[in-house]
Chain A
Amino acid sequence: KQEVTQIPAALSVPEGENLVLNCSFTDSAIYNLQWFRQDPGKGLTSLLLIQSSQREQTSGRLNASLDKSSGRSTLYIAASQPGDSATYLCAVYNQGGKLIFGQGTELSVKP
């Protein structure tokens, strides 16, 4: 059974820092991996989708990497801003096409 774990559970950084969020999964037979942002009490905003054949994907200040063999993905955020404060969720698509989520990393960027 696929399990997705995100470390750390919470992270607080000063504005301007570069940071890395980690995601690991137990079954490397994934189809794709998707990173989301969730603001308190709100929905999920898609940030990046990495296909299983890709090693990384970039969007603006965000860069996500994927290493299927080791069961890991990272989300790199460059030059963090207070507006980046949110919970970041990692989710993997299994062979059945459903998303299996991690518990998220709650990020706080202090001005």
Chain B
Amino acid sequence: EPEVTQTPSHQVTQMGQEVILRCVPISNHLYFYWYRQILGQKVEFLVSFYNNEISEKSEIFDDQFSVERPDGSNFTLKIRSTKLEDSAMYFCASSNNWGTEAFFGQGTRLTVV
């Protein structure tokens, strides 16, 4: 069964460092998303991406964040200068059309120290 895969599963980084979280969405899907979940809090939307451009982004998704689809299979989230409050589980998701069933990856747990 097709699935969304994310790497790494866990990343520890020092404050101020850049991190890149990687995702391989389901192959025939066209819409891609990043969400995050701070420990004990709700899952919250970061950004949606379609046709090689950002469709929508939340207030959280400031200039420190960027997304890219560098080739036909990968979808990445870059945080340029990590802060302690960026520590969270980051989920990638994809769907084959707008507003249809979204499939999530297993997440990358980012710990900023």
Contact with A91, one of B43, B98, B100 (Cβ below 8 angstroms): B43
| A27, chain B: closest CB distance, angstroms | 15
Return the 9 tightest CB-CB contacts between A and B, nearest first: A43-B106, A44-B104, A101-B43, A49-B101, A31-B99, A98-B45, A97-B98, A93-B99, A43-B107
19 further A-B pairs in the complex, CB-CB below 8 A; given A46-B104, A97-B48, A103-B42? A31-B99, A32-B99, A34-B101, A41-B109, A42-B107, A43-B91, A43-B104, A44-B91, A46-B101, A46-B103, A96-B48, A97-B98, A99-B35, A99-B45, A99-B93, A100-B45, A101-B43, A102-B42, A104-B42
Determine the chain A residues whose CB is within 8 A of the CB of B106 once the complex forms: 42-43
Answer whether residue B19 sits at the interface, using C-beta atoms and an 8 A cutoff: no
Provide the B26-49 mask, 1 if CB < 8 A to any CB of A, else 0. 000001010100000111110010
- A107 lies within 8 A of chain B by Cβ: no
Q: Which of under 10, 10 to 19, 20 to 34, or 35 or more describes the interface residues of A?
A: 20 to 34
Q: Does A76 contact B (CB under 8 A)?
A: no
Determine chain A's interface SS by DSSP, over half rule. Answer: strand
Q: How large is the interface on B (under 10, 10 to 19, 20 to 34, 35 or more residues)?
A: 20 to 34
**What's the Cα separation between A24 and B45 when bound, in Å?**
19
Partner of A98, one of B41, B48, B101, B107: B48
**In the complex, what distance in Å separates the CA atom of A86 from the CA atom of B16?**
35
A103 to B37, CA, bound (A): 10
- What chain A residues lie within 8 Å of B93 (beta carbons)? 44, 99
Interface positions, chain B 45-67, Cβ under 8 Å from A, are 45, 48, 55-56, 58
